[in-house]
Structure formats: structure tokens, C-alpha cells
Amino acid sequence: MRFFSDNAAAACPAVMDAMNAANRQTTAYDGDDWSKRLDGAFSDLFETPVRALWVATGTAANGLALAALCPPHGSVVCHHDSHVQNDECGAPEFYTHGAKLLLAGGAGAKLTPATIGELLGNTRNDVHQAQPAALTITNATEYGLVYSADEVAAIGDLCGARGLGFHMDGARFANALVHARCTPAEMTWRAGVDALSFGFVKNGGMSAEALVFFRPELADATLYRRKRAGHLLSKGRYLAAQMLAMLDGDVWLANARAANDGAARIAAAAGDRLLHAVQANEIFIRVSPDEAAALRAQGFDFYDWGAGEARLVVSWDQDPQDIARLATAIAAL
Amino acid sequence: MRFFSDNAAAACPAVMDAMNAANRQTTAYDGDDWSKRLDGAFSDLFETPVRALWVATGTAANGLALAALCPPHGSVVCHHDSHVQNDECGAPEFYTHGAKLLLAGGAGAKLTPATIGELLGNTRNDVHQAQPAALTITNATEYGLVYSADEVAAIGDLCGARGLGFHMDGARFANALVHARCTPAEMTWRAGVDALSFGFVKNGGMSAEALVFFRPELADATLYRRKRAGHLLSKGRYLAAQMLAMLDGDVWLANARAANDGAARIAAAAGDRLLHAVQANEIFIRVSPDEAAALRAQGFDFYDWGAGEARLVVSWDQDPQDIARLATAIAAL
Amino acid sequence: MRFFSDNAAAACPAVMDAMNAANRQTTAYDGDDWSKRLDGAFSDLFETPVRALWVATGTAANGLALAALCPPHGSVVCHHDSHVQNDECGAPEFYTHGAKLLLAGGAGAKLTPATIGELLGNTRNDVHQAQPAALTITNATEYGLVYSADEVAAIGDLCGARGLGFHMDGARFANALVHARCTPAEMTWRAGVDALSFGFVKNGGMSAEALVFFRPELADATLYRRKRAGHLLSKGRYLAAQMLAMLDGDVWLANARAANDGAARIAAAAGDRLLHAVQANEIFIRVSPDEAAALRAQGFDFYDWGAGEARLVVSWDQDPQDIARLATAIAAL
Amino acid sequence: MRFFSDNAAAACPAVMDAMNAANRQTTAYDGDDWSKRLDGAFSDLFETPVRALWVATGTAANGLALAALCPPHGSVVCHHDSHVQNDECGAPEFYTHGAKLLLAGGAGAKLTPATIGELLGNTRNDVHQAQPAALTITNATEYGLVYSADEVAAIGDLCGARGLGFHMDGARFANALVHARCTPAEMTWRAGVDALSFGFVKNGGMSAEALVFFRPELADATLYRRKRAGHLLSKGRYLAAQMLAMLDGDVWLANARAANDGAARIAAAAGDRLLHAVQANEIFIRVSPDEAAALRAQGFDFYDWGAGEARLVVSWDQDPQDIARLATAIAAL
């Protein structure tokens, strides 16, 4: 029973159908009908004109977004527990050509205006320091917490005041949105976000993530950067088709809701073992090594997350019986 | 009738079946069974221990290969008509962090020991010049010509003598091999090749190319570079599965043979319009603007390739009737 | 008798005096009075508001200028015999983070609107090619030829029409200007030049070159790039003082005139041995290996420049007797 | 009375004399006699074969050293208060092509085996994290503290065990050595240091720092990187001559001793205002805004260093009377 990552889940039926449909039309790169529909589909979803590019990974989306917002000699504010800092092997530095990540704190891997302000207050405005040019948050965060639209907007205000480009790493954007009960627009550009890495892969996609620019002109140079990074697939139609299939009929929201609901069920069973509130599809619990071993002995697969802590992730296609079994097992520890 | 690029063809049935199969097993990144089988499968194919990584594009494979062979302050010898120079928007420079491409000539986009020797002879061995560290050839070339194993070996000898890493861009490796009637081993490592971008996408694949290292230790750092470039897909199993499906039962060779045979049929009809010998699946012909328009009016889609020249590409799945129609139409010009 | 490079000449008395003067005032980085006077002094010289930064080498000046004019995913048009292409070990690629140099031809290492137009005509306006963003010429060229103000303006017009930033590598700007008999303004911004590497070191300076921006806003980011490249000297006053001392009383022009005059004298003696017109301070002549040996046996030090060719460079402080001796020796060959 | 930085001090007489001497010999780049003597002079000083390169700034020396020790996809351990992290505008990222700085703590900007071990313990050995490849310490530190040879060796042992290249930023190496009362060898390679940025500029030099490699082979690629970064001065002899003049007769040690002694005198007067032990030539004291204003009103120039704190730096040429005045003024606060 796999609870170690939503990265490992299957692609959902709508995606598999789309792959077959895309196999029947043939045009190279992003000249196909699906790719051409991306801007429109995402503009509709976000209720504003946007430009949307497919890429194969969230790491590429994040790297390209930060390169669009920060020059090589600039710096990017992020949380010290963020994916861009800890889990991308320096992709932001690669894509930005060596911009510096400035690390701020905040409970549950959430930045706050206060933690950001403290960091910026310690940054001198002189030529000896890489000047902050962008800021990135992850929604939902590495610890499964969700920034509300208001919280995003508070950071967006600060970015606006300081002239920082504002990026949201939305590897689990769908999970965040389902929890926050706001519109995609409210969560992003209305709150000041300039660019969004809109995740599909963890949510039932196969190999496509969208990079959405709310400042459409940022896409111009990004098209070249994408090619240059080897991310302009020659058969890009398969990527576009996947994402459109998930947007169609709100499959993406249904998938995320299923995952979040499963996580909520487990959270309810975990009680005071919870290390963080469970708002999306990840559960972090306190478990002793013996308890972790006991869970594994029952067939549950998950990651240790530091000493005495474990991470459990519920995927869009998680078997409800497995979820129930895990909830029971945790409660019984 | 699409003759403008094999990039635009459909994925072949073996690949589509593999995607469905891969959807039934779930593990993240390259921890799945298919990914784990890659080294073995390619080692068998090449009759020597190799390491093979999947990436989503040939551009990424080329970039990673050159970064493994050339330091940022070095240079890479290539043909002035090569894909790495003209069609990757500076990906080699991006991946190598600014290595310089040194451009040599040769008929049909083929380097020769003579053209390479001339270029190297003009390079001073001092600190003011980026020293040549690698050399890359494309097989089949941009003009559809094939280096024989002996021709590759002659260049390999020169690379060995000069201490240059030797890369082969094999976006159409299958087409080249089918023409050359030699083994994969003879075409590559036995001829001195250190790294091969082994193309599948133009040959019936969907979204996976293999980067094969004949000096296995080169893969170590490349694993980090791949991640850093955003090319470690979280559901990499779909890429590995595609390639294994095409290796299985020699689908890759059958596909390439079909394309080459179609090209040969058209070449036979083109007579002295041919600008280059047709050895793989590309045909370059002399056509006046009026003739090009006449072909297009009959429904044939292809690229102009400079003034009075056209490129026609036959794909693995090209309809034999369309091929016959095109041959007839060209003969009738 | 050293005729191998003006790089090797002594610093002129005005410079040595300035170093001593600068040693009596103490402020860090570019906060000193000399550094603060740079913008004004160069604005006066060029009759327009400019910004001028000191750096220690022409390679750094060129790299910073190109980085200001071309993004990492762009390309820079230059001559295939230019210093940026052949003698800086990839510094333009380093500073621009991998922009591509596009190589054009032209007699005597001079680009012309025709050679530039041909190159640009072969460049496709699509995402697969690094789009031209800048162009750089060297005045005087690698072969000692001088672009006239009109010739520069013709290229400037082309740059303006194509949206290319226009850089002049003026390692021997003084020598070019003395020959061209025009004003600094006419040779540069009035002719469309955006940035100039203004050389002092070859012309009697010690360790300072000016990077002059005719579009002053380009200096903003360059200040950070300079620091980041380790070119913000903590005792920058010595660099500023050198250059101001050479501008003062037109020492820089007198030095260049002396060098050019010496070269003209040798050229007159060389007759039809000359490979290029002698317009600045370099002489390229045809000499057999035996003749070259004979010159060296008489104590003349110079570079071979390909088979049967030699380069002779006259420095600002070249002994007139040595010049006369060399002229005689060449005439006597 | 300038106490704000040793960066701003004059060049010492030995250096000025050397500049004049160097002006009498003429050879380009590093082909001169002074440059050729560097390896020998530093090998003698360090009692082991080393290679030594001149560069114009400590930032360049640090950047080149880290690039020699860490690949683009690696990471460099440093203190969160270090110069490479806070005061070089991302030069390490520029030179290494985007390696990541990993920040560890420690009192007085000193790393310890414990703080390093904790950081490394939090680093996963997988492809998602930029793997630590190098470590850099500053001696004396940003807060004027000195690592003893034993302390360096303890870190060197850890680097050896973990396979980390070990760099010492010795912008104030002389000041550290004078305090530590050990040999240059004991402070560096005998303690495991692989590369040293050996500072001269803050200690009475004008524009030259040495980059010393105790693993001589590291210099090979660095020669190209130096050129590529625009740090191969065409008249490099002036840089070499400066440093040799300061090594000769131990001028460098005398200068550092003078500065350290002056700092000790002020420290003695500062009593419990001291924020850090004064071991080199920097004094950090607690002062209220009113007190700082009072000092400035008396003509003392210095930096605020955060709220209620000030940094005072004594230079090699500081007037003893000014030192006495400052000591008196602080005692009288």
C-alpha cells in the first residue's frame, strides 16, 4: 500500500484517453491543436489572459519561472524548507545562471510577511549583495499546509511594494485550491502572483506540468529558454492533451478532492500524532521507529521524515480500503 | 500528406501498449522496473557494459552528453550545419555553461578527419583559446547522409589521439544503422564513441530518448545534471517503458527500415534533382518555387530548405500509397 | 627590440604619476574622487551623458558589455577573426551565460553591412535558433584596419533596424581615432554604438580599461555584474586615476599618434610585403621563414601570424631608432 | 581618521617601488620574470610545491578557487556570515556556474566540526540535492576571529573524511597568521587546505591577490578560467611584482603586525564593549547611536554593523596617534 508519494501514482483515465487521441494527430513541437488551445484554456480557468507552456517536470517549470523573474546577479526569496532549495539539485541556480536563494523561515514551510520582512531587512541595498528580485512560495507547502488567498495576497502586496516578481510553485496547486475554497484567480494573479507552476503529474497526470504566466510578456523569452533547456518536446501534443483532458470536466479538482479527503480521514485517526495540520494530501506524524516498523510490517509504504517522524501521502487513485486500513493502523499504534 | 518531419509522426503501437503497461506499476523517478532494466538492455544491445539514461528530448541528451565531455572553458568541434549549432537555441552552451562550438566543414554535413584536422590546426594551444575537449557528429547527418562504421572509427582515432571526448548525436541512429549494415557496437564504442544520443522519438517513440555512455563513469555526474535540468521525470517509468518496447523484437530497426525504404523509393524517382545521396529517411531535392507550389497543391507538406531546395522526410508510419504518390509527383515535375 | 605586442609596453609617465597621487587618497571601491569623476570626464569627451566603469582588462570590458546587450539565449554577431571569438577563452560566453557568437566575414577582419546581412539572412526567426541580440566590431581590427565613422554608422543603422545592441571593442580605440580623424562622438554613439570598451592598457596604461555606456541605463545592472565577476577592485582609485591622467592633456591621443606614426614608417619600408593597409599601429607582412629568422637574428621580436606571415606592433614608447632599424631591416630583406 | 576599512589604505612603499621596477621590464600577460617567480616564492614560503596565480581581487580568487573545487551541480559549505555568501554579489555562483552555498553557523563567523557536521547530517545523499563538494572558511573571519592551526586541521580532517575540497579565504591571512603564531604551512596545507586566497590588498598591497593551490594540478584548469573571467591582465607583471615585494623581507608580516597591534590597543580600551575577541585587526563594539555620533563628531570614520554595533578596522599604515586618540575616545564614552 503505497503512501510514499503522489509522484508514483498512475495517470488517470482521462489522461490515458488523451494520449491515445493525441496519437491520432501529428504535428511537431507545439504547433498542434492541443498546444494551441493551452493559452485559451488557462485564460478561461483564470479569468484573465494568460500564457501557458507545457514542460515535463515541475522542476523545469520552477526553473523557467524563476529565470523569467530574476537576473543572474539577483536573488530569490524562498523558504528554507522549500522544494526549490532542497529538492531540485540546484535547478533554480542552473536556470537563472547562478541567482542566489535567500532563505526565510516560517512555521510549516510557509513564508509570512514577517519572516520575509526580516530577511529583506537584513539585505543591504548595495552592489556587494545579490539584490532580491523574486520570491517564491509553494502552495500547498512541503508540509502540506495551504496558503489562503488572503495570505497569498499579503505576500503579493509585499512583493509589489518591493518590486519582487512573485512565483507560486503549485506542484500541488489543485490540492491547495480544493482546501482554500477560492477560485484559481483569487489564489494567484488577483493576489499578485506573476507566474505559477501548475502541477498535474502528482494529481493524475503523466508527464506534463503547466507554466502559467499572468504577465503574458514573460512568456516571450521563456519560449527560448524552454527550447534551450531541452524542454520543447518534438511531440508536445501529448503534453498539452494531458492537461486539457484534466481541465475538462474538472477532473483535476475531482482528483485533488479525492486525495485531500483521504488525507483528512487519516488525519482524523492520527490525533495528536499530527505534526502539522492536514490541509492537502500529506500527513506528517510522530512515530517511533518501532511504530514505523509496525506500520511497514502491515504493508504500508511511506517515507521517514527526520527522526521519529513520517510522511504519508494520499494519491488521487488511492484505494479507499487502503486509506481506511491505514487510518485504523495509525489509530491502533 | 505529411513529409515535413519524422518529428511529427505518431507513436508506434508497441509504444502505446508500453504506456498502458507502465500505468499499472507505480514508483517514482527512475526507481521502477523499466528504468532499472535500461542499463542491461542497452548493454546487451551494444555488447559492452553501458549506462543509459532516459531524457525527454534529443536536445537534452546532446546537452548532457557534451557537458559530460567538455568543461565550461573548453570547446566542442562540430559541423557548421549540425543540429547542436543551428537548431537547439544554444542548448550546448546552456548545458556546458558556455563552452564554445568550433565549426568545421565537410560535404553533406559530414565531418572528415581532414576538415577536423584543419580546424584543430588553426587552434592555438594557449590559455587565450578555449581548448577543444570534445567532438560531436550526427549520424545520420542533417542532410541524411550516413557515416559508415569505418568513417566513425577514423574520427574516433583522431579524437583518441587528441584527447577529445567523442559524442554521436543519433537522433536518427536507427536510420543510420539500417543503412550502414553494421552492429550498434561497430557504429559506436568500437569506433571510439564515448556517448550516444540514441533517438527514439523520430522513429516511432513518443517522448523518450536514451543517453548512452560507453564510458559508464560519465553517467555519475550526469545523473545530477539531469535532475538539475529538470529532466528527471517523476514518472520516468513511461519513458523507460517506451524505449524497451521499441528495442524488444527490434521494433526500432523495423521502423527505421520502413522509413529508409520509403525514402529510397522517392529518391529513385527524383533522379538528378537529388542534392545529396539518400541513405536514411530524408530526401533533399532541387525544386523551383513553382514546382514546390505544384507539389503542395497536390497535398504534399514539406519544408523549403534554402532557395530552390526542399526537404522531404519519410516517417516510420508513412502510408505507402502516399510515398508512391509523392514519387510519381516528383517524377512528373 | 620588442615589436610583438603593445600589451607589453611600459606604462607612460602620466600614469605612473597618477598611481602615486592615488596612493595619497584613501577610499574603498569606487567611492574615491577619481572614480566619481569618470562619468563626467567621459561625458565631456564624448559630448553626451555617458556612464563609464573601470575594469582591469579589455576581456572583462567586452564580456560585461556583451552581457549588457545580449541575453543568455541570444546570439552576438562578430567577425570570425575577432578577439572575442579567438582570444578570450570564451569570456563572452562566460559573461553572457552561454550566448552564441555568430561568425561573419569581411576583409581585414572588418564586418560590412553585406557580410552582416548575409549572416542574418541565414538566421531563422524561430525558437530553435539563438536570436541575434547584439553585434560587436573591433576598431581598430585584429589586422590593424580602421572603420571610419561612416562605416561604423552604416553598421549602426543596420543594428538599429534589426534591434541589435551595438558594441565596439576599442582595445586600440585611440589608434583608430587618430587615423580616422573624427571625434570620439562621431566614431561611437553618433554612429549608433551603445557600448564601448575603451582601451588604455595597450596605449600606455597599466591596468585599467573603461567600459563606456552611451545608453547610460545599461550601467545599472553592469555594476552588479562587475562585482560578481570580481572586477570591483577594492582600491579602484588607482584604475580611475590612470585613465583620467591619460585623458588629461590628450596623452592618450599623443601616445596613439606616436605608435601609429611609427607603424607608418615601417609600412613605408615594407612595400608590397604588406598584407593589410597599415592604418593603426600594427603591420602584417609576408616573410619567409628565412627572412623571419634573419629579422630575429638582428634582435627584432615579433609574432608569426600563420605560415609566411608576421605581425609587428609599434607601442607608444617605441624607440624611434628601433623603428628606423626595423624599417631598414625589412627594406633590406 | 579612517577606521572603516583596511580596503581603503594606501599601498605600502615596497609596493610602490615594485610598480616602478615593473615598469622597466616589458613582457605581456604572465610571461615576465616576476610572474614566473611566483610559484617558487610561494613554494618557499609554504615549504611545499605550490602553484600561485595573481588576480586583481579576493572575490576573483575565491570564485576561481571554489570553481576548482566544486562542480556546477555541487554545493559549498560556508558560514552564514561569510564574505562569499554576503559580500560578493554571487561571485561564487557565477564562477562555479551555479553551485549552491550551504550555510552553517558558529560563533564569531567560525565554522566548527560540530556546526559543519550538523549541516552535512541534514544533507541527503541523493540526486535531488546538490552534493557538498567543497568547504570554505575565512581566516581571519568576518568578525576578526582567528582559526588556530589546530582548528583548521580539525576541519581539514572532516573535509578529508567527507571528500570535500577545502578552501581558505585569506583576505586577512597575514593578520590571522601573526595572531596564530604558526607557520604558513601549518595554517594551510598541513591542516588540509587545498587552496588559499592569499590577501595582499588589505595589508598594504595595491591590486594583487594570490590564489595558491596546494594541490598544484588544480591550477591547470584555473589558468583558463582566469583568462575567461577577464583576470589575465596583459601587464600582469605589476601584480606579481607587488606581491613579491611584500613577501620580500616579510613586509607582509610587518604590516599585519602593525595593524593587529593597533587593534589590540583599541580593544584594551573598549573593555566590555567588545562583541568579539580582538585577534586580528578588526574591533566590533557595542555603541549606542549617540555614542557612535559622538565618535564621528570627533572625526572617526567607521561602519555601523547592525543596530547598536560598530566595526572599526585598523590598517597597516594607521597613524599611531589616531589609534591612541580612538582608544581614548572609546574609553571616554
Asked whether B26 and A10 are in contact (CB, 8 A), the reply is yes
Which residues are within 8 A (CB) of C311 and not within 5 positions of it... i.e. 6 or more apart?
A: C4, C282, C283, C284, C302, C303, C304, C305
Looking at residue D307, its pLDDT comes to: 87
Q: Could you tell me the pTM of the whole model?
A: 0.97
The x, y and z cell numbers of residue D250, run together, are 616579510
Across the interface, of A5, A90, A206, the residue whose CB is closest to B228 is: A90
- Contacts by A119-124, CB closer than 8 A, 24 or more apart: A119/A77, A120/A77, A120/A162, A123/A75
Q: What is the pLDDT of residues D317-329, one digit of tens each?
A: 999 999 999 999 9
Q: Name the band, by pLDDT with cuts 50, 70 and 90, for residue A25.
A: confident
Burial call B165-188: b when 16+ CB within 10 Å, e when fewer: bbbbbbbbbbbbbbbbebebbbbb
Sheet holding C303-304, edge to edge: C282-286, C309-313, C303-304
Map A252-316 to HEC letters: HHHHHHHHHHHHHHHHHHHHHHECCCCCCCEEEEECCHHHHHHHHHCCCECEECCCCEEEEECCC
CA-atom Rg of chain D in angstroms: 20
Using CA atoms, how far apart are residues D247 and C215, in angstroms rounded to an integer?
44
Q: Chain D: nearest CA to A3, how far in angstroms?
A: 20
Asked if pLDDT for residue A303 goes beyond 90, the answer is: yes
CA distances from A236 to A36, A209, B136, B226, D199 (A): 11, 12, 26, 20, 53
| A100 closest CB neighbour out of D75, D90, D128 | D90
Is the Cβ pair D127, B227 closer than 8 Å? yes
Res. B227: pLDDT tops 90: yes
The amino acid sitting at D113 is P
At position C220, the amino acid (one-letter code) is D
CA-nearest residue of chain B to D71? B221
Q: How far apart are CA D53 and CA D61, in angstroms?
A: 9
Q: Low-confidence residues of chain C, pLDDT below 70? A: none
Q: Which residue has the higher pLDDT, B185 or B25?
A: B185
SS3 of residue C97 by DSSP: coil
Q: Are D214 and D194 in contact (CB under 8 A)?
A: yes
Handedness of CA A97, A100, A106, A111 (dihedral sign): negative
pLDDT of residue A27: 86
CB contact (8 A) between residue D100 and residue A86: no
Residues of chain C contacting residue D57, judged by C-beta atoms under 8 Å apart: 230-234
Q: How confident is the model at residue D306 (pLDDT cuts 50, 70, 90)?
A: confident
Whether A130 and C232 lie within 8 Å, measured CB to CB: no
Q: Is the pLDDT of residue D70 over 90?
A: yes
Give me the pLDDT at residue B8, please: 86
| Chain D environment of C55 (Cβ under 8 Å) | 230
Q: Which amino acid is at A84?
A: V
Q: Which residues contact A279 (CB under 8 A, 6 or more apart)?
A: A140, A144, A145, A146, A176, A179, A260
Q: How far apart are CA C285 and CA C136, in angstroms?
A: 26
The span from the CA of B233 to the CA of B235, in Å, is 5
Question: In A91-113, which positions are buried (b, 16+ CB within 10 angstroms) versus exposed (e)?
Answer: bbbbbbbbbbbbbbbbebbbbbe
Give the model's confidence band at A28: pLDDT under 50 very low, under 70 low, under 90 confident, else very high: confident
How is A188-231 classified by DSSP, letter by letter? TGGGT--EEEE--GGGT-SS-EEEEESSTTHHHHHHHHHHHTT-
How close A129 gets to chain C, by Cα (Å)? Answer: 8
Mean pLDDT of D305-330: 96
| Nearest of D112, D196, D109 to residue D152 by alpha carbon | D112
- Quote the ipTM score: 0.97
What is the overall mean pLDDT for chain A? Answer: 97
For residue C55, give the amino acid letter: V
Interface of B with D (CB under 8 A): 71-74, 97-98, 127-128, 130-131, 221, 223-228, 232
Residues 6+ apart with CB under 8 A from A94: A63, B228, B229, D72, D73, D98
The alpha carbon of residue D312 is apart from the nearest alpha carbon of chain C, in Å, by: 15
Strands C74-79 and C100-104, bridge-based pairing? parallel
- Kindly state the cell numbers that stand for B183: 552492429
Please identify which residue in the block is written with the cell numbers 587552434: B123
Mutation test of the interface with chain B: which of D125, D127, D220, D223, choosing the one with the most B Cβ atoms within 10 A? D127
pLDDT at B1: 87
Across the interface, whether the CB atoms of D59 and C227 are under 8 A apart is answered: yes
Q: What is the pLDDT of residues B162-184, one digit of tens each?
A: 999 999 999 999 999 999 999 99
Rounded to an integer, what distance in angstroms lies between the CA atom of residue C21 and that of residue B245? 76
Nearest Cα to Cα of residue C8 among A89, A262, D35: D35
The H or E element that residue B179 is part of is helix B173-180
Provide the mean pLDDT of chain D.
97
Residue type present at position B27: T
Query: Of the candidates D16, D62, D228, which has its C-beta nearest C90's C-beta?
Result: D228
Q: Looking at residue D8, what is its pLDDT? A: 86
Q: How far apart are CA D281 and CA D173, in angstroms?
A: 11
Give me the phi and psi of A310, to 5 degrees please: -140, 150
* Interchain pair D73, B224: CB under 8 A: yes
CA distance A43 to A213: 10
What nine digits make up the cell of D51?
Answer: 602553484
pLDDT digits (tens, 9 = 90+) for A84-132: 999 999 999 999 999 999 999 999 999 999 999 999 999 999 999 999 9
Contact A155, A113 (CB under 8 A): yes
Here the cell at position B133 is 575537449
The sheet carrying D303-304 orders its strands as D282-286, D309-313, D303-304
Does pLDDT of A311 surpass 90? yes
User: Distance from CA of residue D224 to its chain's centroid?
Assistant: 23
Please count the residues of chain C. Answer: 333
* Mean pLDDT for the stretch of residues B88-116: 98
| Contact residues, chain C, for D94 at CB < 8 Å | 228-229
Tell me the one-letter amino acid at C238.
Y
pLDDT above 90 for D28: no
Radius of gyration, CA atoms only, chain C? 20
Alpha-carbon distance of C182 to C153, in angstroms, equals: 13
Chain centre to alpha carbon of residue C155: 17
- C156 vs C14: CA distance, rounded Å: 34
CB < 8 Å to C94, chain D = 228-229
**For residue B25, what pLDDT band results from cuts at 50, 70 and 90?**
confident
- Retrieve residue C7's grid coordinates: 600589451
Closest CB to C128 among A72, A73, A227: A227
Residues of B in contact with C96 (CB under 8 A): 98
B170 backbone dihedrals φ, ψ, rounded to 5°:
-105, 50
CA of A114 vs chain D CAs: smallest distance (Å): 19
Sign of the CA dihedral running C293, C295, C299, C304: negative
Q: What is the CA radius of gyration of chain A?
A: 20
The answer to whether C75 contacts B93, with C-beta atoms less than 8 Å apart, is no
- Between CA B207 and CA D291 the distance in angstroms is 68
Task: Give which of C244, C172, C170 is closest to C203, Cα–Cα.
Answer: C172
